[in-house]
Amino acid sequence: MYKIFTIFLLLINPFLIQSARAATWILPPPDIDIFGQIRTTQASRSETLLDIARQYDIGQIEIMLANPNVDRWLPEDGATVILPSRYIIPQGERKGLLLNLPEMRIYYFPEPKKGEKPVIITHPVGIGRMDWVTPLGISKIVEKKKDPTWIPPKSLQMDRIANGEQPYPSIVPPGPTNPLGRHAMRLGISSGSYLIHGTIKPFGVGMRVSAGCVRMYPEDIEALFDKVPIGTQVQVVNQPIKLGWLLDSLFVELHPPLEEDQEKYSNYHGIVVAAINDFLARNSNKRNIPEDFEIDQEALAQAILEKSGIPVLISRSRSQNQLHTQNVISN
């Protein structure tokens, strides 16, 4: 039932804007938390899973979690690859840039022009390693630079020396060896030492590889650079557990917690259950939840086991079943 019902929900999705990379969508109304569409493609011998990820604007860990049985480097010719391009919007203000660290993905809510529908834009990102975490909190974009010069921080230089590597030059000018790529946007935190920038190593997008900055595919930061004005709010959150509504259906999207939070999430199942109960309690006065609404425990257990980063339907009711049956027959 779950698979068929999911297909039905995709058929009625009114929020899709067709594009090659499918990064821009009509922003759902406040009472709907899900947008996007799960798709599939077929691998060929000439490409790796990471090639496919970049082609469809997906991060490395994202595509691996969605395809645990597909070899990262040598996928079988013709193998079906799931493209995890459906998302629950993280909890936070739907304004400016919203970055959720565990899913390594950033969301942008541009101010709509007069007469335009509001949209949401999303891209995968690379974030800070465990020893150089990307800081949580609210800040803003304070500077934008095209073809930036990079001055390596002392901490990064010391790390390279400790690992027996040559330190970077004291100043790296714009060009093909500049780790910032061709575009950088500075955040107004920690004396401006954190950036959202491009990269010359795109395979690190969707992983924890940076010294705290936020890395993007070169084509993504180039597209975002002109859209995001100086002064744009930036929210950085840590939400491995996301819950959201689509009509009267409750979905959960689960990600592995950050390494430094592993102990905190040792009872992952219990934390998810507590999060669901809290979410339903907060929503009980805001929406008309069907009287026969209940959690599908089997679907929930499978979602917790897989932590695939894909929204999973975890609710059921007679009204949902009747709606599903009527539309399956009509289609």
Question: How many domains does the chain divide into?
Answer: 2
Residue 232 lies in a domain: yes
Q: Is 213 a catalytic residue?
A: yes
Domain boundary among 238, 265, 287: 238
Final residue before a domain boundary, out of 192, 218, 238: 238
Does 299 lie in the same domain as 233?
A: no
Do 116 and 136 belong together in one domain? yes
Query: What confidence tens digit (pLDDT) does each residue in 192-210 have?
Result: 789 999 999 999 999 999 9
How far apart CA 96 and CA 120 sit, in angstroms, is 10
Q: 151 and 199: one domain?
A: yes
Pick from 84, 7, 77: which is nearest to 42 by CA? 77
CA dihedral 10, 13, 18, 24 (to 10 degrees): -110
Q: Which domain holds residue 303?
A: 240-330
Does 144 reside within a domain?
Answer: yes
- For the entire predicted model, the pTM comes to 0.89
| Marked catalytic residue, from 213, 255, 269, 324 | 213
Do residue 226 and residue 287 come from a single domain?
A: no
Position 153 in a domain: yes
Whether 155 is in a domain gets the answer yes
pLDDT band at 317 (very low <50, low <70, confident <90, very high): confident
Which residue, 201, 216, 238, sits at the end of a domain?
A: 238
In a domain, 82, yes or no: no
> Are residues 112 and 224 both part of a single domain?
yes
Given 197, 255, 269, 324, which residue is catalytic?
197
What pLDDT digit, counting tens, does each position of 56-114 carry? 999 999 999 999 999 999 999 999 999 999 999 999 999 999 999 999 999 999 999 99
Residue 104's domain is classified under what CATH number? 2.40.440.10
Considering the domain architecture, whether residues 254 and 151 belong to the same structural domain is answered as no
